[in-house]
Amino acid sequence: MESSKKIDPAERIQNALRELRASVRAYRRETGKAASPLLSGGAPMVSIRNELVVNSVCTAQREFLLPLVPQGGIACEVGTSTGFFARAIAMFTKPAELHTIDMDYSRFKDSYFEQDSGLPAPIKHEGRSWEELSKFDKYFDLIYIDAGHSYKDVTRDIEAASKAIKPDGYLMFNDYCRWSIEQAEPYGVLAAVNDFANENNWAVRGVALSGSGHFDILLSKNNDVMNARNKEQVEIWKTTTIEPPEKEPRRNS
């Protein structure tokens, strides 16, 4: 009788990584080409134009990008999960309206927005992100995109968001990277954002680093008026002390 040896889950990952690395090296040896296009989930390798980054700031965490956005506007988080970052958006941008979009609200914590929190109760939209976004026309001042992470999904969200955002509004993206260390899968956010910025002349206002390498990026339409306003907001940020909210034990997705 065959003995079925139970493999330790950590060992299974180490084995898979070893096998993947060997396959990547073999691919290069046998074809003379880099395997990166096979690991990118169909996302092109695209750099953002330099003039679109010169007015940007760099922050340590994503919460610190929020003071660059004017307060009291209409904000929307696309892909909200527990509502953890929707709460940060509410705390730091004090929106007149806070909208959230998700296809699954089972993990959402209404307790983040209880009456005594002083934060506005979110207006929840349930459904596919790009479909829900397409119901709005030049409505939002800030849209935070963190739903599907494939190149195709993010491109669809950006297309819908670019119509739902006001002409002087801001688009912000979580997971601005090409590969997820948390999911071990390609992320198309970096390529989709760079494509959009280059083609539509949107400038980077800030990039937030993170220990995991899942960066955030904040963009607005590139014009001189916005650049002047951005500088004023950077001054406000420099003189304001902001404590990021207490971290959740782990992110589910």
Ligand X SMILES: C[S@@+](CC[C@H](N)C(=O)[O-])C[C@H]1O[C@@H](n2cnc3c(N)ncnc32)[C@H](O)[C@@H]1O
Q: State phi, psi for 54 to the nearest 5 degrees.
A: -70, -20
Kindly tell me which residue out of 84, 92, 136, 176 binds ligand X, with binding defined by CB under 6 A. Answer: 84
Residue 7 to residue 119: CA distance in whole angstroms: 47
Q: Do 141 and 170 touch, CB atoms closer than 8 A?
A: yes
Site for ligand X in 60-79 (CB under 6 A): 77, 79
Out of 59, 81, 220, 230, name the contact with ligand X by CB under 6 A. Answer: 81
Size of site (CB under 6 A) for ligand X: 18
CB of 46 to ligand X, least distance (A): 22
The yes or no reply on residue 128 touching ligand X (CB under 6 A) is yes
The two three-digit tokens of residue 140, written as one number: 């939002």
**Of the listed pieces 80-88, 217-225, 227-235, 239-247, which binds ligand X according to CB under 6 A?**
80-88
In which element (H, E) is residue 197 found? Answer: helix 189-200
Spatial distance between the Cα atoms of 243 and 11, rounded to a whole number of angstroms: 38
Location of structure tokens 């750099």: 47
Contact 173, 217 (CB under 8 A): yes
Q: Does 102 bind ligand X (CB under 6 A)?
A: yes
Minimum separation from the CB atom of position 210 to ligand X (A): 11
Strands 123-126 and 165-176: unpaired
Minimum CB distance to ligand X, residue 7 (Å) = 29
Q: Minimum CB separation from ligand X for residue 107, in Å?
A: 7
Among 103, 209, 234, 242, binds ligand X (CB under 6 A): 103
Residue 78's SS3 state is strand
| Sign of the Cα pseudo-torsion (108, 148, 249, 61, in order) | negative
Residue 91 CB, nearest approach to ligand X (Å): 13
Q: Closest distance between ligand X and the C-beta of residue 69, in Å?
A: 16
Residue number with CB closer to ligand X (74 or 101): 101
The interface with ligand X within residues 139-178 (CB under 6 A) comprises 146-148, 153, 174
The rounded distance, in Å, linking the Cα atoms of 150 and 161 is: 16
Binding positions for ligand X, rule: CB under 6 A? 77, 79-81, 84-85, 101-104, 128-129, 146-148, 153, 174, 253
